[in-house]
Amino acid sequence: MAHVQLADGVLNYQLEGPAQAPVLVLSNSLGTDLGMWDEQVPLWREHFRVLRYDTRGHGGSTVSDGPYSIEQLGGDVLALLNALHIERAHFVGLSMGGLIGQWLGIHAGHRLHSLTLCNTAAQIGTAQVWNSRIDLVLGGGQQAMAELRDASLARWFTADFVADHPLQCQRITQMLAGTSAQGYAANCAAVRDADFRSQLGRIEVPTLIVAGSGDVVTTPEHGRFLQSHITGAQIVEYPAAHLSNVEIGEPFTRRVLAFLQGQG
């Protein structure tokens, strides 16, 4: 692991793969860390220089004062690229990472080769839902985060996957329990305030949308909305819940790789 210095802290990252290969940035979902991409990295780093990082407030990155905004989190990605002297990159983001990807596509498309937006939406949830969760975790601290871990199983994975792969699910949900309550709440505010529905037409880079048929957080309908409002966007739907990269690991990994390689 390594760190880059931000104006108000550090961003934890890991960079793997051939030095001369195109760069592929991976952005984690709310309540996880860069380890959520462990299954994808071995194949992807054969073809790309894979740069994954912990979003501010998660993992080994700074937990700065909140609330955060998606603009701020997108700025962190640009700061990371600048610090590592990376001019352009492919970007894959899941859920909140997909919101960050949308912001980058809208405001910094010249820094992107492509976008892959996984299990995400132009607007996720309602202010009421997010405000309730913010109050819960700020009031309950790490105990509340542990309770969220247990409640998240049904949102993040299908029942069959939970039954068949309990250790895999536990590894991912433990990331949530270990996330700073302050950092989690600050990121909840960023998701709460994000709404790109009227701006998607400004995304001009090649885009792949990944949806899960069992995703109740960001539904296939949300994915189809993204596809219909981003010019030329492709969409693929898998029998998975919210964390499709974990639940449908190999098909997800190979399909995204095929898209990335198709961008030249």
pLDDT (tens digit, 9 = 90+) per residue, 72-86? 999 999 999 999 999
pLDDT score of 150: 85
pLDDT in tens, 149-193: 888 999 999 999 999 999 999 999 999 999 999 999 999 999 999
CB 217 within 8 A of CB 124: yes
Q: How many CB atoms lie within 10 A of CB 32?
A: 28
pLDDT more than 90, % of the chain: 97
pLDDT score of 264: 64
Domain limits of the chain? 2-261
pLDDT score of 1: 75
Q: Which CATH class is domain 2-261?
A: alpha beta
With a CB cutoff of 8 Å and minimum separation 6, the contacts of 55 are 27, 28, 61, 73, 76, 96, 97, 100, 187
- Look up residue 251 and give its two tokens: 């098909």
With a CB cutoff of 8 Å and minimum separation 6, the contacts of 98 are 27, 117, 118, 119, 120, 121, 218
Mean pLDDT over the full length of the chain: 97
pLDDT in tens, 100-144: 999 999 999 999 999 999 999 999 999 999 999 999 999 999 999
Q: Is the pLDDT of residue 253 over 90?
A: yes
Write 158-165 long-range contacts (CB < 8 A, 24+): 158/214, 158/239, 158/240, 158/241, 158/247, 161/240, 161/241, 161/247
- Look up residue 11 and give its two tokens: 């961003």
pLDDT in tens, 27-82: 999 999 999 999 999 999 999 999 999 999 999 999 998 999 999 999 999 999 99
3-class DSSP string for 147-215: HHHHHHHHHHCCHHHHHHCHHHHHHHHHHHHHCCHHHHHHHHHHHHHCCCCCCHHHCCCCEEEEEECCC
Q: Is the pLDDT of residue 14 over 80?
A: yes
With a CB cutoff of 8 Å and minimum separation 6, the contacts of 228 are none
- Look up residue 186 and give its two tokens: 């600050």
Dist CA 119 CA 220 (whole Å):
8
